[in-house]
Structure 1
Amino acid sequence: MTTSGPHLSVLDLVPVRSDQSTGDAVAATLALARTADALGYRRFWIAEHHNMPAVAATNPAVLIGLIASVTDRIRVGSGGVMLPNHAPLVVAEQFALLEATFPDRIDLGIGRAPGTDPVTSWALRHGAGGVTDEAVSRFPEYVDNVLAMMEPAGVGLALRGREHILKATPAATSVPQIWLLGSSDYSAQLAAAKGRPYVFAHHFSGSGTKEALELYRSTFQPSAALAEPRTFLTVNASVAPTTEEAERLALPQLLQMAALRTGRPLAAQRVVEDAELIVEAGLPDGHQELIDAMRSRWVIGDPSSARAALESLAATYDVDEVMVNPVAGAFAGGDPRSAAAREQTLTLLAG
């Protein structure tokens, strides 16, 4: 990887194309992770989404284990685990075990949003007796619980007049690096108060990044885990030998995001040629304007212009690391167990 410019990392949602099965999509993600590892990318994070026809990242811990087992040096983590969906002990156990197996390579990014629709959120955790609003309101407490239970000494739990020691794993020697994630001021304030690293979802939100990072930095309280603020930037990217090709490869994901943000039914991610036919047939009212607005915030272009755009973003937000979500789609007839254009994006950005 080129030594100039910000460090580069990868965010992956494990997209499922119309020419793929779930198994194919996972195989493509493993190939993408091996490429990122070989190119010198700093970290590879998996998102959490549920009940979506074009996203297979339903279980970050399982995917992290698969990815870490086929890579050598890259840090692997969650971007993020949506904590209100899960019992804190389960998350602590999963990531303590991952850290024990792959020491000093595991990141635990924690988010507060559900990452799904209300019905699926209920089925994930709350069908077993929990209440969605309660889980969200107790998010700071749940974060503390996860952190404490992963420590080698564990945490004391008072129950029926006795204290019980609760550990996520019997003999921990290290803990994952814990990050707080968000797309609003809430997590920025919480991360600052707890002295933890923080990431704003710039790739998804596209607005409010500067304000959130300023709030985090200005209110940061040093902790035993972190002496000063630490953050990076996330961005969607499609890079190809020519800008024209990069634009074509970005189109399937742009259509997906337009459908998501306008409440239209979602489908598996289309191949480029099918996406182009949809545009030629005419988009619903307002969709082209929405696509144009998203495109302006994404990094889409040839290698030179894309790297320059990343350097500009890093300078604008004063970060030394950019996490790229490679959104390039696929042309018809490609290998369903690979994501050639996504790997191309990483290769061309690495220089």
Structure 2
Amino acid sequence: MQRFYCNCGQEVYFADTHCVACGKELGFDPSKRHLYCGRRDGRVFIAELPNGAEKRFKVCDNHHEPVRCNWLLALDDPHHQCISCRTTHIIPDQNQPKNPLRWRRLEEAKRRLFDTLISLGLDTRGAPDIINGLRFNFLEDQRTNPNVDLEFVLTGHSHGLITLNAAEADEGFLHAMKEQMNEPYRSLLGHFRHEVGHYYWERLLKSESLVQFRRVFGDERFDYGQALRSYYQYGPQRNWQVSFISAYASSHPFEDWAETWAHYLHITDTLETARMYGLTDYVQARHDFELWVKEWLKVVKVMNALNRSMGLADPYPFVLSPIVMSKLRFIDDLIDSQARI
């Protein structure tokens, strides 16, 4: 994540809608990854440039409560919602007291996801702009809302449609599921990054790269349902740490890919943040995988040490074994060769 400053000099943050120092409104242009300060005139955001000039944008329809989206659109864009918000197809019932805040947190996490995807040059268009484009359903089940029909919402992906349990936006629910699933790390943003990995598997893997995928991750044609049943009944593969980034990654090549993809996005975004705050001077470039890993291992030592000094768990409790690094390299090469420039 980048660092942003208002024209008055105050540091402002990715999701901010106003500068706390001068009160100016803030708007984020995802195409330039730039946070502008300015003012709003109806549905038009007037960005005030440092040289005294102005630039006009459309504001996202979700700029109001509860979402408070600060993303902008070009004036000639035919859409009324930003590139992130318009991929949401179903939201949780806003008449339920907890759901407005859940929706806001879900959309904010999704915008962070989209910002990383855009920085990598990946196609983020949703349906109907492209067939089976990215789209999201935020659903509830009877565990948190007895008035809905669904007994259990399964987080997952199917041909561009990503379904998330809206309750994952609650810290209590998230922590309970983390304990129940015996996961060292679980976050709302992590869910988005994992599930979008399944989407990009369908988008990026072609016949030639699919052959290489099977060499690195294994044969995805192995029965997926059977693999998951075996994982939940008997647990992960023995000594899974040697070959997988997480226990769940050992369940099936599809999940190995999605878990590794999520970690690629974790590392990419966190390294950018670390550079912005002076922890590294590394700037991600194409075909520099060894340097990318080297810098990450340096930064993660600092991250974990800082948390331990506060008596907190490691924010990155994972080990990048040589086999895991070969999988990350595969993803890096694939993005370098096929991402939209």
TM value normalised by structure 1: 0.27
TM value normalised by structure 2: 0.27
Q: Which has the higher contact order (CA 8 A, sep 6+)?
A: 1
